[in-house]
Structure 1
Amino acid sequence: MFRALRPVLARPSGTFRTCVLLVLLAATGIAILELVREQTGTPGFFVGLGLALLPVAPLMAAFRWLGRAAPAPWSQLLFCFAWGACTAALIAILANNFATQWIAAATADPSEADQLGSVAIAPVVEESAKAAALLLVFAFRRPHFTGPADGFVVAGFTAIGFAFTENILYLGNAFVQDLADGTGVLDSVTAATFFVRIVLSPFAHPLFTVLTGLGFGAAAVSARRARRLCLPLLGLALAMGMHALWNGSSRFGDHGFYVVYSCVMVPLFGLLVWLAVRIRRGRLRAVAAELSLYAAAGWLAPAEVPALASMPARSLARSLARRSGGRAAGRAVARYEADAVALAMLRNRARRGGPLREADFARRERELLNRLWQRRATAGPALARAAVMEELLPHGFDPLAPFGTPEAGEAGEAAEAVVAAEAAARPAGVPGPRRQEPSVRRSGPWTPATPAGPSSIRPCVLPGGDGVR
């Protein structure tokens, strides 16, 4: 039996890894729930659970909004949330308790142990435990980790899960203390804890872990091996430093907490919000630039490119498809949009020098192009119509015309300019994308008269010198 399992254990498949992770999450989830319930008591546990749930949905929606330009699978995001809530929280509680007890025994001063543990031990343990989820996604889901935005979102969901479990513990303990003291609602420790952790600083843990996520995201598009190793460690070190500063703020005097909150946390939060918006806009610009090459090669209709680079147009296209073809058509358009964006991010990552082998690039590109072609008849007209309704097309642009024809107007000239610029930068003797113009029937936006399959059109291949490794 062991001999039969040896190949599976030596080279685990995706299904085997998934099963192992699900078992791990289930085991740590049961353990952390029982541990928290034991520390807070059953009434405190349910009160803490109800209050800790309040910020989860808004925070998830905020990070999901950032990632919608090139959305990650929900399964991946839910794994990160579960890792933070279960595995990372369990590791942090056990390691922090052990370290605090060991320091207390060594120094014979429990107060000193608590202070040193919260400033020196907890940030290292907690940020490392959360970073493990990012490392797993980075290692085993590399096609979905295409830049800083992915690191931002994955880190955010992991930290939301961790803060959720931690809030249950803090709020549950505060409620138990209030029951023992018999204090009123307004003067209660529970109200004060809720204000500080849920109202004032729900973004604290996401703020720290996002720094680690940005390090992993920068490593995903770095061509140099040294940077791919150092950038995540640098991000983790920054996250630990910010976490230590936050935990130690109350020890900087009577107003230390408010000083750190107003002078460090709020400005850093504003900076990261600005960076998130900038990253999102940059991704949409990259989608437009990269997909224009595939449109010039005949894989997409000209009007699809601006629609795919606009979030309102994508949403409108899904809505139009659902109206005309039902939920199945809406799902087909959604998958078409996700595959098109994944294709753009794949090429953009390789162009920027990401660690991507040429064979892997070609295989993944062919896979995405085949999937796009299968749903093109449904998604193409919906996206073209959405582009017209959102007024994304230049004046005089005909959405029925392929690139390179007189009717294409400014969009055709822009596409030709992109192809020409890429050809000028290509080393001599290296083939580039071949543009072919599928025939178009005028009965509707982008309806091929001869439905040729993907084998009849050569896909865009990455030019030499684009940093493929």
Structure 2
Amino acid sequence: MLRHPHWWQRGSVRYGALITLLALSGLVILALVRRQTGTEGFLVGLGLAVLPVPWLTAAFRWLDRVAPGPRRNLVFAFAWGACAAALIAIVANSFATRWIATATADPAGADTLGATVIAPIVEESAKAAAVLLVFLFRRRDFTGIVDGMVIAGITATGFAFTENILYLGTAFGADQLSGDSGIASVTAATFFVRIVMSPFAHPLFTTMTGLGFGLSAFSAPRQRARRVLLPVCGLLLAMSMHACWNGSSTFGQFGFFAVYGCFMVPVFGLLTWLAIWTRQRELRTVRAELPAYVLAGWLGPAEPDALGSMRARRAARDYARHHGGKPAAREVAQYEAHATTLALLRRRGRAGRAGADFVVRERELLDALWRRRDAARPALEYAARATAPAPVHWAPPHPQYGYGYGYPAAPYPAYPAHNPYQS
């Protein structure tokens, strides 16, 4: 006999509770920031803090283009960082700093300890909670390194957005009291440091946590110690980097620039290289794993190579949009995403890391591809022909022009109009 879930186990109840929690957190953090900055400072801070958000979000979405996760996960991550994590950080940091100042009777030392020890622990833990929630409750959408980096980066982008409103609004209020303006103002200095020089700081820290969760997701189910320790190590690394960054001002007159140039920039470059390498690895996996489904009749012969090239994918979406409008382009985009997920699932299955629901998940993805084949296959076949390198044919040397001057290359062979896999 089937047991119906309790009311608190229903998906609608969980979604409602989560939305309510984030909405209340947003209202409270809005009131707290506005009280500290004033209405005018809040509006100025909001206008300046929003500037890096679009391109940071676009960078993480670009990274996730090969196998894009559901947009609702990204919305949740940003909302958690901007509302819940920011609220936890403000309340916990203030409480801890006051407690240390009272216990030690040293307010200056409490502020330094709060910035270099308490803040990294509290803030990175609060941001890591979003990654943990997606990892636990959206496990199918969390399959590797890229997923972890994207969720962590979007969460940190939301957190930095709220924090920048607070810092820039407070700086503007200080300038209003002192009468400073222009380049010499505190607002200009704060904007230069937080928006121009280091907009990637928080995403960089939290990406370490996401990297740990991503490696854990890629581990085999039997490797329990590894699956637990990797996220913990990633979180500890994020806290250490955050503490080093916050403590750079205590390292001397040029401590900030030394940490920025000798530590932050190289780590940022290394993570950027890792992200691009992982993206290319996913494309190679698509080209290597999907031919098995061509032999079984699920995919067309041209699809593995087309799906393994970002240029061909874009050409397929453009073709579908030109001939079928935006709905057809969305169908092709979903086809590309499902096919990539299928290839990554097959790779994990061959490595013994897919889990017990491999067969069920594989069938779901194949069914999703089959439902979209009418819109996707012509577009992908066109993209394969349009992006394929022109074949080079040997020709005898021309008496005047020498080698390479011969007959025109043969056209790319067209696929039959009839779908041989139509059931």
TM-score calculated relative to the size of structure 2: 0.92
* Residue in 2 that maps onto 1:26: 23
* Residue in 2 that maps onto 1:96: 93
Q: CA deviation at 1:448?
A: 2.2
Aligned equivalents of 1:369, 1:338: Cα separation in 2: 12
Q: CA deviation at 1:398?
A: 4.0
Structure 1 residue 148 corresponds to structure 2 residue 119: no
Aligned equivalents of 1:378, 1:145: Cα separation in 2: 28
**Secondary structure, counterpart of 1:68 in structure 2:** coil
Change (3 A) 1:165 1:19: same
Structure 1: which 5+ runs fail to align?
401-441, 453-469
**Secondary structure, counterpart of 1:248 in structure 2:** helix
Letter matched to residue 70 of structure 1: A
Q: CA deviation at 1:355?
A: 5.7
Structure 1 residue 280 corresponds to structure 2 residue 279: yes
* Residue in 1 that maps onto 2:404: none
* Residue in 2 that maps onto 1:339: 338
Deviations 1:188-221 (A, max 9, x none): 0000000000000001001100000000000001
Aligned equivalents of 1:112, 1:254: Cα separation in 2: 19
Contact 2:66 2:337 in 1 (8 A): no
Structure 1 residue 451 corresponds to structure 2 residue 419: no
* Residue in 2 that maps onto 1:435: none
* Residue in 2 that maps onto 1:438: none
Among 216, 219, 223, the alignment partner of 1:222 is 219
* Residue in 2 that maps onto 1:171: 168
Structure 1 residue 159 corresponds to structure 2 residue 159: no
Deviations 1:354-385 (A, max 9, x none): 3611xx11111111111111111111011010
Q: CA deviation at 1:102?
A: 0.3
Letter matched to residue 283 of structure 1: E
**Secondary structure, counterpart of 1:448 in structure 2:** coil
Deviations 1:295-347 (A, max 9, x none): 12111011111111111211111111111122221121111111111211222
Aligned equivalents of 2:183, 2:211: Cα separation in 1: 40
Structure 1 residue 124 corresponds to structure 2 residue 121: yes
* Residue in 2 that maps onto 1:303: 302
Q: CA deviation at 1:16?
A: 2.5
Q: CA deviation at 1:349?
A: 2.7
* Residue in 1 that maps onto 2:292: 293
Letter matched to residue 314 of structure 1: R
User: Percent identity at matched positions?
Assistant: 60
* Residue in 2 that maps onto 1:325: 324
* Residue in 1 that maps onto 2:111: 114
Contact 1:147 1:220 in 2 (8 A): yes
Letter matched to residue 272 of structure 1: L
Q: CA deviation at 1:393?
A: 8.8
Letter matched to residue 255 of structure 2: G
Contact 1:69 1:284 in 2 (8 A): yes
* Residue in 1 that maps onto 2:397: none
Among 13, 17, 23, the alignment partner of 2:14 is 17
Aligned equivalents of 2:422, 2:343: Cα separation in 1: 24
What number of residue pairs does the alignment pair up? Answer: 401
Q: CA deviation at 1:104?
A: 0.5
Contact 1:221 1:350 in 2 (8 A): no
Aligned equivalents of 1:199, 1:374: Cα separation in 2: 47
**Secondary structure, counterpart of 1:186 in structure 2:** helix
Letter matched to residue 47 of structure 2: G
Structure 1 residue 41 corresponds to structure 2 residue 41: no
Structure 1 residue 58 corresponds to structure 2 residue 42: no
* Residue in 2 that maps onto 1:457: none
Q: CA deviation at 1:85?
A: 0.4
Aligned equivalents of 1:235, 1:212: Cα separation in 2: 4
Letter matched to residue 156 of structure 1: G
Aligned equivalents of 1:5, 1:317: Cα separation in 2: 44
Aligned equivalents of 1:393, 1:346: Cα separation in 2: 33
Change (3 A) 1:218 1:399: farther
Structure 1 residue 77 corresponds to structure 2 residue 74: yes
Aligned equivalents of 1:177, 1:118: Cα separation in 2: 21
Aligned equivalents of 1:394, 1:96: Cα separation in 2: 64
Deviations 1:213-271 (A, max 9, x none): 00000000111111100000000000000000000000011111111111100111111
RMSD: 1.7
**Secondary structure, counterpart of 1:70 in structure 2:** coil
Among 374, 378, 389, the alignment partner of 1:381 is 378
Letter matched to residue 62 of structure 2: W
Contact 1:216 1:232 in 2 (8 A): yes
Aligned equivalents of 1:13, 1:355: Cα separation in 2: 26
Deviations 1:44-82 (A, max 9, x none): 000000000000001111111111011111111111011
Aligned equivalents of 1:450, 1:215: Cα separation in 2: 42
* Residue in 1 that maps onto 2:405: none
Contact 2:57 2:154 in 1 (8 A): yes
